[in-house]
Each structure stands twice: as structure tokens, then as C-alpha cells.
Amino acid sequence: MFEARLTQGALLKRLLDSVKELVTDANFDCSETGISLQAMDNSHVALVSLSLRAEGFNPYRCDRGFSLGVNLNSLNKIMKCAGNEDVITLKADDSSADSLCLLFENSSNERVSEYELKLMDIDQEHLSIPETDYDATVMMPSAEFQRICRDLMVVSESVTIDVSKDEIKFTAEGELGTGNVKLKPTSTIDKPEESITIELGQTVSLQFSLKYLSNFTRGTPLSDQVMLCLSDNMPLLVEYKMDIGYIRYYLAPKVGD
């Protein structure tokens, strides 16, 4: 038997909203430690890895590990039927999981709706992502990162990110001309969510597709801060951390001339 009840249902709505453009079908791997998902976009240029800890649900019950093969478009349609204040419960019979039950209860509990989503068999390759000691780790307000991606997209569909000890610089070059945004670390200790920090092993400069980065910023509502991790000739990691877990986006760089 699998049952996971989340009082902040809105969080699940936002999470699914932040991956729906990137991934169509995916397996939700459920175990006693929680729910995780890993999937690449169709072009295999980006990968999303999502993890929700069992402690974030109450109750959480997963008698044995199993996978829920889900079409995310269909799941998103059903999630639209949940109110932002609703408590959301996911239930499945872990032996013959051919459908996922979703329960939406409003706060005063006089309105309860129940949906069943047909599950699919999805055989997806699972990539092993080694723990990496990145050349540069940058923390910044997630809204700031979203704005930089949106602004520089008017100039080009690629952005070069340069990180040095005391600056992260985003540069775009295109037909109309060029644009760049430079951020310096802040020391505002009174407003931690506004802070910008740079942890530098060595300077790094990489180029990425802004189309994908803009897509990743759908995770902005999940967290005040976003973490960018860069290493030479490695995919960029963009992480939005929540109390219950995290959503990580990986993007392969553009390399060579």
C-alpha cells in the first residue's frame, strides 16, 4: 500500500508545473525514504531530478519500493482540479499499481474530490550523477536569476556565465547587439533571501542555452534562493531547495567553436 498526504497541496501543484514543459512522461520512484523522479527532456540536453522526503508527508506509507509511470500532462490536468489550499493525498496499491488515486480535501473538509490517473509502463534510462566538487557555487535570489534569463533572451538564445571570486557575469551576444548582467556578492545578513554569495574553487566560463535556463526558472516559486553550480566542461546544476526536498535541473554546456 502506498499513501502520501501533503498538507501544503499547492507545493505539489507548483512542483509539477515546474517540470511539465521539460518532461512528458516520467517514473515517480516511491520508497520508504520518499518520492523521487529523474528524467531528461526529449533532446537529452537537460535533466531534471526531483526528491521529496517521506518526513514532508503526514502520513507517509510505502510498504515496498515501486514506480509510478505517469504522463505529466495528464497529471497536471488533474492537479488543476486541486484548490491551492487543499490537502493532497496520493494513494496507490503498490502490488498492482495500474492507477494513482489523488484525493483533494479543502481545509474545512466539507469538499473532498477524488481522481484516478491511469498509469503507464515507462522504461526510462536512469543516469548516475556523481557528487561533484564544483569549481563555482553561486547562491542568489531566484527572482533575480529568472529576470536575468528573461532579459538576456531578448539579445540571444545563448548566455555565457563567467564566475570569478567577486563577480558572476551573464553575457549574451546576438544580431541586435550584446547585453550583460554582473552581480557582486552581497553581505546583507539581515535579508538572507536577498543575498548573493560566490564560493569559488577556480574561475569558470561556460555557455548555455537560454531557452532551457528560462524553462528551469519555472522553479522560481518553489524557493527564494537558487543555487548555480558550475565546473569546466560539465553540465550546469540549477537547484531550488524546499523544506520537503529539492528540484535540480542539469543543463549540458555548449562547447567548442
Partner 1 sequence: LKKQHKITDFYSEE
Residue 256 within binding range of partner 1, rule CB under 8 A: yes
Task: Indicate which single residue of 42, 109, 128, 187 sits in contact with partner 1 (rule: CB under 8 A).
Answer: 128
- Going by DSSP bridges, is the β-strand pair 177-183/167-174 parallel, antiparallel, or unpaired? antiparallel
Q: Which of 141, 179, 219, 235 binds partner 1 (CB under 8 A)?
A: 235
Q: Based on the shown chain and the rule CB under 8 A, indicate whether residue 234 belongs to the binding site for partner 1.
A: yes
User: How big is the site for partner 1, counted in residues (CB under 8 A)?
Assistant: 24
Of the candidate residues 11, 47, 226, 229, the single one contacting partner 1 (CB under 8 A): 47
Please tell me the distance from the alpha carbon of residue 53 to that of residue 31, in angstroms, as a whole number: 10
| Member of 11, 19, 22, 40 binding partner 1 (CB under 8 A) | 40
Dihedral sign (CA 54, 59, 60, 64): positive
Q: Would you count residue 134 as binding partner 1 (CB under 8 A)?
A: no
CB within 8 A of 257, min separation 6: which ones?
A: none
Q: Give the residue, chosen from 55, 129, 178, 188, that forms a contact with partner 1 under the rule CB under 8 A.
A: 129
Q: What's the CA gap between 164 and 74, in Å, rounded?
A: 44
- Told to check if 67 binds partner 1 by CB under 8 A, we report no
Q: What is the DSSP letter of 217?
A: G
d(CA 117, CA 253): 36
Does 127 participate in binding partner 1 (rule CB under 8 A)?
Answer: yes
